[in-house]
Amino acid sequence: DAGVIQSPRHEVTEMGQEVTLRCKPISGHNSLFWYRQTMMRGLELLIYFNNNVPIDDSGMPEDRFSAKMPNASFSTLKIQPSEPRDSAVYFCASSQTRTSLQETQYFGPGTRLLVL
């Protein structure tokens, strides 16, 4: 299996521009997670989906952030408009969730975002 795939791997943009990050989870996984990692705050959960339905978006910082999962093999995280404080590494992770068993989350390689 190719693992979790994220694109782009690096993104440099100017303040005010729209940024779209993409994620393809591991085939067969039914949960998908978006995280943000910074030196100051560490790794923070932004939002997670189960069976393509958003379950908890309490970590999304503000209305400028939105996430979608139109099907089981694709998700996007969009920032509009972007700000310099959004600069971070954004990770996507996926897992197979069963009723009585907590499964491992597998992380993608991340997207390094720099907003100038």
Partner 1 sequence: QKEVEQDPGPLSVPEGAIVSLNCTYSNSAFQYFMWYRQYSRKGPELLMYTYSSGNKEDGRFTAQVDKSSKYISLFIRDSQPSDSATYLCAMMGGSEKLVFGKGTKLTVNP
- Pairwise CA distance, residues 6 & 25, whole Å: 9
Hey, what are 116's tokens?
């100038």
Residue 68 DSSP SS3: strand
Query: Is residue 107 near partner 1 by the rule CB under 8 A?
Result: yes
| Shortest Cβ 110–partner 1 spacing (Å) | 5
Report DSSP letters for 30-48, one per residue.
-EEEEEEEETTTEEEEEEE
Q: Binding marks (x or -) toward partner 1, 28..67, rule CB under 8 A?
A: ---x-x-------xxxxx--x-x----xx-----------
Nearest CB to partner 1, comparing residues 31 and 66: 31
Q: Residue from 23, 36, 69, 91 that binds partner 1 (CB under 8 A)? A: 91
